[in-house]
Amino acid sequence: MKVITDERLVIKNLKNIRFAFAFQTLALVGIVLYDGITKGFNNITNNPIWLVLILTSVILGYLNLSISVDSYENEKRIRKMPYYLLVLCCLAAGVIFGLLTKITSNSNLADSIIIGSVIFLCFLGTFSFGYFLIKKRSKDDEE
């Protein structure tokens, strides 16, 4: 198979892939909704297709993050924040969500700690990824 070098064909190929991905995602959402309507909405999360949709959304979000960092970087200079402040902000978000879980629901302390830890790790992973992308871009610009 020959590698496509014409930019117009590359863009057309990417548009075709985007259309196929959108169709596939809509079909999977339709299957999950049908399963939810026929078996009850509580059973949606038991379907493995639900896990595929969630993981696809997370992966797509992380891949789009590198594009948005490039776009944001071109518009204006990003103010660099020390990494320890980023970790402290993520920790604060985790503590706040853990406390909100404890206050608003009748859950025990272990559930609140688990929810706060998961929120902390999700925030930390996302913001660390963005931080290191920005750091890498700034190093590449300096060289």
Query: Is the torsion defined by CA of 57, 13, 137, 79 positive or negative?
Result: negative
Query: Is the torsion defined by CA of 134, 137, 141, 143 positive or negative?
Result: positive
**pLDDT value of position 114:** 92
Cβ–Cβ < 8 Å for 110, 96 = no
User: Which pTM does this prediction carry?
Assistant: 0.56
The full set of domain ranges for the chain reads 1-76, 79-143
**pLDDT value of position 62:** 76
Per-residue pLDDT of the chain (143 residues; tens, 9 = 90+): 677 677 888 888 888 888 999 899 899 989 988 988 998 877 888 888 888 888 888 888 777 776 766 555 554 555 677 888 989 999 999 999 989 888 887 778 888 899 899 999 988 988 888 888 778 777 766 65
Cβ–Cβ < 8 Å for 100, 93 = no
